[in-house]
Structure 1
Amino acid sequence: MRYILKILIHSLFWVVYVLFYLLMEVMPRGEVFVALQDLTPQFYINFVWAAVIFYTSYYCLIRYFEKSQLVKYLILSITLSVMVSAIFFVFIKFFFSDFNLFDYHIFLPPMVGSFIIAQCGCLVRGFEKWFSNIQVKSEIENKNLKNELELLKSQVNPHFLFNTLNNIDSLIIKSPKDASKMLITLSGMLRYMIYETKTDAVPLQREIDYLTSYIQLQQLRFKNSDYIRFSFPEPDVSNIQVAPMLFIPFVENAFKHSCYAEPMPVIDTSIRLDGNVLEFTCVNYFDTERMLKPDVQSGVGLENVKRRLALLYPGKHDLQIIKKSNTFKIQLIIKL
């Protein structure tokens, strides 16, 4: 806990204590100023007495409470209240000669007050530790969350790179020119992945550019230009921020499982904006027989993006994954 907050808590307690003391001791006497003058020595003694009890309990007794040694804690609280009260009653006797040390009517209320102040010391210390634990827990959770997001992001990038390099390898012999074009496009995409996705959010336009490059790269594999249809917002959406590498796993998955499917377009993806609501849709046809083979796996991409959405947009997104006959549809709505 920060020291400023500690000082504020302790200051507030002592202000309340002083006000309560004055209310109980001064107001019944009627003449406020005369009463204050008469109570000045007694006030200082009582204040020191209360501080000794409070901070003894604050630093010492709290350990027994934390260890759940409640019987020992209660006995020590009472003992502390009796001992400190008795010692300070002796000092009061020097200032007020008519003070009767053996009058239980005088001795009992300060005893009860001492016990209450001791509990207040433990209560304040307990609150401070509780608040500090919350801060530490929050810092640990934030650190773990950041590490988890970095891990999930790092899992997405190699997954994409693995598929793309396989595509390039298949074209090196068949079409060196197309393979070269793929490498140039891939170079630009890797530059974005390595240098621009380290932040928590990127301009939506950069994500659209990245998706466009990816789709163009994939289109080199197909003779039919109608294989994929995509519709993205017009430029000038750079003021909209989104999490990086959020949409590519869906598009990548669509290409992965639609290679042998028909009719055209096999893949249809779009991004639409309506105020601060973004809607991403990706629909693809797939070959049902191929999808039923045991060696065909969905990979880590979709699971990772689900987890990232849960971490980055909790309560602000709706992801629908619908699989019907030979179509697979992704619909993601994010409230930015």
Structure 2
Amino acid sequence: MVQTSGTLQTPPPAIHKERAQSWFMRYKLYHIPFWMTYQYLWWTLRIGSPLEVANAIFLNPAATCKYVFYVAFQALGVYFNLYFLMPRLLDRNRYVAYVVSVVLTIILCAWCIVGGYYVGALLSDKTFQELYSRSPYDVYGLFESGSLPSTAAAMTLAMSIKLTKRWVEGRRRLQLMEQEKLETELKFLKSQFNPHFLFNTINSIFVLINKDPRSASDALARFSDLLRYQLYECNEHEITLSQELAYLENFIALQKIRQDDNVEVSYETITPQPDRWMVAPFMLMPFAENAFKHVSRSRHQRNYISISLTLANETLRLVVINTIGDTSSRDISNAGGIGMKNVTRRLALLYPDAHRLDINRDPQMYRIDLALQLRAAPGYNRVSNNTSLTTHASA
């Protein structure tokens, strides 16, 4: 038989510390200092200065015993409510039974705390009258003016914290679900590019091949860039503003090819250093797509689409105006690939406190005014004063 021997190695101090922290958190032992501090502050409000309360707790055996009773029974009542009553009654919508049970728990714990006064008197060399300035037969007075208010306040505080935590966690779960749903919709949008736009654009390029090969070549290059953006460049949660603007410009240029001569299209951007700003992909395009889809094409009026983009400090402003006629868009609120309603929801989710969207419509015109606060790209932390102006217009 061969025996092997070795030395038993002790875990390094870091592992011991990690295990101790895990054990401390797992059993919620950090709650003990919380309840001790809560009771200390309550006594400070009821008795006097913090120093007097500290001297009474640590130097007076009767006060120490009473303090232990307060902390122990109030903690028991709180955790009985949080981990037994709430899951079994409140979460199952048994509200009357829950309220009655909470009230009974408060009363029972408060009566148990009253016992701490008498145990403390037994540990002290003073009489009950000398310690508490009341008769030992005034049990109800101790209950009503001492233990009951403190216990009710502790239970209320604990329930408030628990319900607030549940509300916050519920909101976070709802936001995560909305985020996942939004990401799914965005992936669907990228995979299901508007087939009518693809079909019409390819036909327009096909017609241009014989009429104007140079323009057809330029349109085909833009079409290729647009598809490359859709397939590869917009897979991140945020992209640079320059990437989004390049996609928007290619989209507008291809749409211009398909427009009749009686539709004027103007596109203007004032965007200082767009590489330094980040924006969610496909955030601007639906507004332009909506305008092209629903612009009026009547021969008896001036038809136009105006798209302007300005960037001042951290705020990007998009203004889209298009004329509309009697037959242009009964369903204008659901225009475009993901629809105006979905765009509004994306803005509310991704930029909850960082956007303003105004939509106005009258019988002749539809106007969208979007102000969007952008985040600086990594590596940029200052706003430059240099600006660049690009203007595109056609009749």
- 2:111 is paired with a residue of what secondary structure? helix
- 2:270 is paired with a residue of what secondary structure? coil
Distance of 2:270 and 2:241 partners within structure 1: 10
User: Structure 2: which amino acid aligns with 1:23?
Assistant: G
1:212 paired residue number: 249
Aligned pair 1:237/2:274, yes or no?
yes
2:70 paired residue number: 50
1:203 paired residue number: 240
1:60 paired residue number: 80
- 1:245 is paired with a residue of what secondary structure? coil
Structure 1-normalised TM-score? 0.73
Q: Contact 1:269–1:283 (CA<8 Å) still a contact in 2? A: yes
Match of 2:347 among 299, 303, 309: 309
- 1:193 is paired with a residue of what secondary structure? helix
Deviations 1:18-67, CA, capped at 9 Å, x for gaps: 53576399969xxx98x888x52112211221122211211225655854
Distance of 1:151 and 1:56 partners within structure 2: 46
Distance of 1:140 and 1:68 partners within structure 2: 29
Distance 1:87-1:15 versus aligned 2 partners, 3 A rule: closer
Ranges in structure 1 where 5+ consecutive residues have no aligned partner: none
1:15 paired residue number: 40
2:122 paired residue number: 93
Distance of 1:51 and 1:36 partners within structure 2: 12
2:310 paired residue number: 272
Distance 1:256-1:206 versus aligned 2 partners, 3 A rule: same
Aligned pair 1:283/2:316, yes or no?
no
Alignment identity in percent?
21
Q: Contact 2:240–2:279 (CA<8 Å) still a contact in 1? A: yes
Q: Contact 2:226–2:250 (CA<8 Å) still a contact in 1? A: yes
Match of 2:197 among 164, 167, 179: 164
Distance of 1:324 and 1:99 partners within structure 2: 87
C-alpha displacement of 1:220: 3.9
Q: Contact 2:287–2:320 (CA<8 Å) still a contact in 1? A: yes
Aligned pair 1:250/2:296, yes or no?
no
C-alpha displacement of 1:143: 1.0
- 1:255 is paired with a residue of what secondary structure? helix
Distance 1:245-1:118 versus aligned 2 partners, 3 A rule: same
- 1:246 is paired with a residue of what secondary structure? coil
Distance of 1:129 and 1:197 partners within structure 2: 41
Distance of 1:17 and 1:120 partners within structure 2: 10
Q: Which moved more, 1:147-156 or 1:4-13?
A: 4-13
Deviations 1:192-248, CA, capped at 9 Å, x for gaps: 334443445433322221111112223344696985332122562333444332221
Match of 2:106 among 77, 90, 101: 77
Distance 1:261-1:158 versus aligned 2 partners, 3 A rule: farther
Distance of 1:48 and 1:110 partners within structure 2: 16
Distance of 2:217 and 2:347 partners within structure 1: 35
2:170 paired residue number: 137
C-alpha displacement of 1:314: 4.9
C-alpha displacement of 1:126: 0.6
Distance of 1:56 and 1:151 partners within structure 2: 46
Q: Contact 2:241–2:279 (CA<8 Å) still a contact in 1? A: yes
Q: Which moved more, 1:117-126 or 1:219-228?
A: 219-228
C-alpha displacement of 1:137: 1.8
Distance 1:47-1:301 versus aligned 2 partners, 3 A rule: same
1:324 paired residue number: 363
Q: Contact 2:78–2:158 (CA<8 Å) still a contact in 1? A: yes
Deviations 1:251-280, CA, capped at 9 Å, x for gaps: 223333448555787433221334554432
Q: Contact 1:42–1:92 (CA<8 Å) still a contact in 2? A: yes
How many residues align? The count is 325
Structure 2-normalised TM-score? 0.64
Distance 1:192-1:172 versus aligned 2 partners, 3 A rule: closer
C-alpha displacement of 1:129: 0.8
User: Structure 1: which amino acid aligns with 2:256?
Assistant: Q
Match of 1:334 among 371, 374, 377: 371
- 1:333 is paired with a residue of what secondary structure? strand
Hey, which of these two has a bigger chunk of helix by percent? Answer: 1
Q: Contact 1:219–1:225 (CA<8 Å) still a contact in 2? A: no
C-alpha displacement of 1:130: 1.6
Match of 1:111 among 130, 143, 146: 143
Ranges in structure 2 where 5+ consecutive residues have no aligned partner: 1-24, 374-395
